[in-house]
Amino acid sequence: MKLKALLVLGCLFTASYSIAQQQVLDKVAVIVNEGVVLESEIQTLLRNVKANAQQTGQALPSDRALRVQATERLITENLQMQAAERIGIQISDPQLEQTIENIARQQGLTLLQLRGELNASGVSYDSYRETVRKELITGEVRRASVRRRVIITPQEIENLVKLIEAQGEEQTEFRLGHILIEVVPDATPEDVDAARETADKVLELLNSGSDFAKIAIASSGGSEALEGGDMGWMNINSMPTLFADAVQNLGKDDLVGPIRSGAGFHILKVTDIRGQETVEVEEVNSRHILIQPSVILSNEKAQKMLVDFREKLINGEADFAELAREHSADPGSALKGGELGYADPNIYVPAFKDALAALEADEYSQPFRSQHGWHLVQLIDRRMGDVTEQVKQEKAYQLLFQRKFAEETDNWLREIRDTAFVELIEESAI
């Protein structure tokens, strides 16, 4: 019994000594407000930085300088986690697992393969999960705290769009068609008026669909007349200034003119563009009548109203605009006879978008229900709309937002660091 008791005491002593060792190794290194940074966290980060530097051949500063940087990184991270806790930001286990699955998929791996690679690298899956969770939380707290500090004015967007366009001018090339209605050097005012009148008639013919090359061969006084007026590919900087000013905002197949010069009156056609981003979407023009069920108007009666309206419209017994003005519960369109104007169908609720997709021009839908009520829709027309300018503005906005968000994030991190209580625990203080 005595031997057994000694063994138990020995085990307890060994365990106590081991725990004491771990506590010494994992002592508090920094107090950060109500939180702490542990020595083990600093050592783990230092090991990771050194391992990454060794893989990439990156030279590192002294261990002391590296420790200062690692400590500051962990202090900032700790402050962000505290901020997240104050405003209630959390990442659930299902959210975390979904994110890790996405990370694995982006790397061309299954979740099982990712876990295998982590184990082979000496990283436990549990540790990796918590690292990802922490990154997600700090990302969310930055967005929540910094987004409201980012202010972007319409003028800033416009200025950046112009800058992007100017930078892209040398890459953008236009293929121009050119017709010159000549004016001789000693022309009288009557001669100039006659040439102008001819140029106007030529432009009118072209707008009516006449063949540009054919008219150029027949009427142009330009040197490229026999080529159908084809001037070939040119960028803004290589074409005459008069033409550059006229065409830089035009799209493919656009006509411009008559433009007066000393040689006469010029008519230009942009026959093609390359090196320029052009974005088109199908737009629809439609009109609708919205009936909203209420306490005194049941779903069935609302639907029946629209069934009756549809039948009358098909039979020519009613006018859509009059029915919309009298009965539609959509005040924005009712005053315009139900017309919604040209729009990207993706802006509409799914039921409305799906109804439009199934219609031909001038066709009426069957009555259908959306979250707004019961609709009767007529598709008026479809067209391809150029949304290049909107895409440019959105791109400019995103670039400005990213830049300002990064700047404001740095400012916010400095602010929370400057106002925090931070105490470094000396090496000797255990």
Q: Has residue 231 been placed in a domain? A: yes
Helix (H, G, I), strand (E, B), or coil: what is residue 353?
A: helix
Domain that holds residue 340: 282-386
* Cα gap 323→309, rounded to integer Å: 8
pLDDT at 25: 56
pLDDT at 167: 60
Is 15 among the domain residues?
Answer: no
Query: CA 74, CA 143: separation in Å to the nearest integer?
Result: 19
Q: Is residue 259 part of a domain?
A: yes
**180 and 249 both lie in a single domain:** yes
Question: d(Cα 366, Cα 293) in Å, to the nearest integer?
Answer: 17
The owner of tokens 């009156």 is: 265
Q: Which of 240, 274, 308 represents a domain boundary (last residue)? A: 274
Cβ–Cβ < 8 Å for 89, 140: yes
Per the structure block, which two tokens stand in for 39?
Answer: 């020595």
Residues 359 and 344 in one domain: yes
My answer on whether 187 and 225 are in the same domain is yes
pLDDT score, position 36: 94
Residues 195 and 257 in one domain: yes
Are 167 and 127 in contact by the 8 Å Cβ rule? The answer is no
Claim to verify: residue 419 and residue 355 sit in the same structural domain: no
Place of tokens 């993706």: 346
Whether residue 375 is found in the same domain as residue 396? no
DSSP H or E stretch at residue 271 = strand 264-274
Q: What is the DSSP letter of 364?
A: B
The structure tokens listed for 76 are 């900032």
User: 166 Cβ partners below 8 Å, 6+ apart?
Assistant: none
Residue 251 lies in a domain: yes
Q: Are residues 291 and 350 in the same domain?
A: yes
Both 54 and 132 in a single domain? Answer: yes
Q: In this predicted model, what pLDDT tens digit does every residue of 76-95 receive, in sequence order? A: 999 999 999 999 988 888 88
Strands (DSSP E) found in 104-172: none
Residues of the chain with pLDDT under 70: 1-25, 166-171, 237-238, 276-279, 426-430
Q: Is residue 69 part of a domain?
A: yes
What pTM was computed for the model? 0.52
According to DSSP, the residues that pair with 377 across neighbouring strands are 288
Domain assignment of residue 101, yes or no: yes
pLDDT for residue 23: 42
**Is 356 inside a domain boundary?**
yes
Please name every residue paired with 261 in a beta bridge, in sequence order, or none if there are none.
264
pLDDT value of position 21: 40
* DSSP β-ladder status, 264-274 and 173-182: antiparallel
The verdict on residue 12 lying in a domain is no
For residues 121 and 155, state if they share a domain.
Answer: no
Domain count, the chain: 4
Q: Which residues of 222-237 are buried (b: 16+ CB within 10 A; e: fewer)?
A: bebbebbbbbeebbbe
* Cα-Cα-Cα-Cα dihedral sign, residues 284, 392, 157, 242: negative
Whether residues 297 and 379 share a domain: the answer is yes
**Would you state the pLDDT for residue 391?**
75
d(CA 291, CA 375): 6
CATH of the domain at 344: 3.10.50.40
In the structure encoding, which two tokens stand for residue 5, read together?
């008791």
The answer to whether residues 243 and 181 belong to one domain is yes
The string of pLDDT tens digits covering residues 176-225 is: 899 999 888 888 999 899 999 999 999 999 998 888 988 888 888 887 88
